């Protein structure tokens, strides 16, 4: 069993499928909103957050945004919010057309690439190029529970996999008393 774990771990490192350790506390993050004050990740403490780092011109990231729009409506009653932060060369020119075209119903903004890499604990020498989309799932206490970079299979079935993460995080704890109906 140890041999299998060793080879699997070695394969993941060699293939660039790095993700920061999970669970881990989410560090503070500042995202610049369009014509608004920056928002801080800590503003969402007490909520479950699905955080996507994207490129506004990436077709996969645009598909992800469309899925997050749909899921925001469904999961908002379960204390979930979606967030997206765009980073890419030319993001300041690309961001407004992205907003107008997709009209996300959740907070979005832009962020420097260095801030993304620091937040997700990415190292180019160790991990290779940072691929998008990149999603993290953060619980209501501010702990990262899921970390999925653009190089892994998570995005093959985006909606299904995002739902699975959110359902797992919104499920009542085992042994928790059920709420009484009035």
Q: Could you tell me where the beta strands, DSSP code E, fall in 62-150?
A: 80-86, 108-110, 134-138, 143-148
pLDDT range class, residue 172, cuts 50, 70, 90: confident
pLDDT over 70 (residue 174): no
Beta strand pairing status for 80-86 and 48-54?
parallel
Report the mean per-residue pLDDT for the chain.
89
pLDDT over 80 (residue 8): no
Q: List, for residues 28-64, the tens digit of each pLDDT value.
A: 999 999 999 999 999 999 999 999 999 999 999 999 9
Q: List, for residues 103-156, the tens digit of each pLDDT value.
A: 999 999 999 999 999 999 999 999 999 999 999 999 999 999 999 999 889 999
Q: List, for residues 89-105, the tens digit of each pLDDT value.
A: 999 999 999 999 999 99
pLDDT over 50 (residue 7): no
Domains of the chain: 19-27+43-170 (3.40.30.10)
Query: Could you tell me the CA-to-CA distances from 125 to 14, 81, 89, 116, 135 in Å, in that order?
Result: 11, 33, 20, 16, 21
- Can you give the pLDDT at residue 89? 95
The Cβ of residue 149 has, within 10 Å, a number of other Cβ atoms equal to 24
pLDDT range class, residue 20, cuts 50, 70, 90: confident
């Amino acid at each position: 069993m140890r041999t299998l774990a060793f080879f699997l771990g070695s394969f993941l490192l060699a293939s660039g499928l790095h993700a920061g350790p999970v669970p881990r506390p989410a560090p503070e993050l500042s995202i610049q909103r369009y014509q608004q004050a920056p928002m801080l990740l800590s503003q969402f403490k007490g909520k479950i957050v699905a955080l996507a780092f994207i490129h506004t011109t990436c077709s996969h990231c645009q598909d992800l945004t469309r899925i997050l729009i749909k899921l925001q409506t469904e999961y908002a009653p379960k204390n979930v919010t979606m967030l997206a932060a765009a980073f890419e060369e030319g993001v300041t020119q690309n961001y407004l057309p992205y907003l107008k075209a997709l009209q996300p119903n959740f907070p979005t903004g832009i962020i420097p690439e260095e801030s993304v890499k620091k937040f997700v604990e990415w190292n180019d020498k160790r991990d290779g190029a940072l691929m998008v989309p990149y999603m993290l799932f953060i619980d209501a206490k501010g702990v990262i529970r899921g970390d999925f970079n653009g190089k892994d299979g998570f995005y093959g079935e985006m909606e299904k996999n995002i739902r699975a993460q959110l359902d797992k995080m919104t499920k009542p704890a085992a042994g928790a008393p059920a709420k009484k109906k009035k």
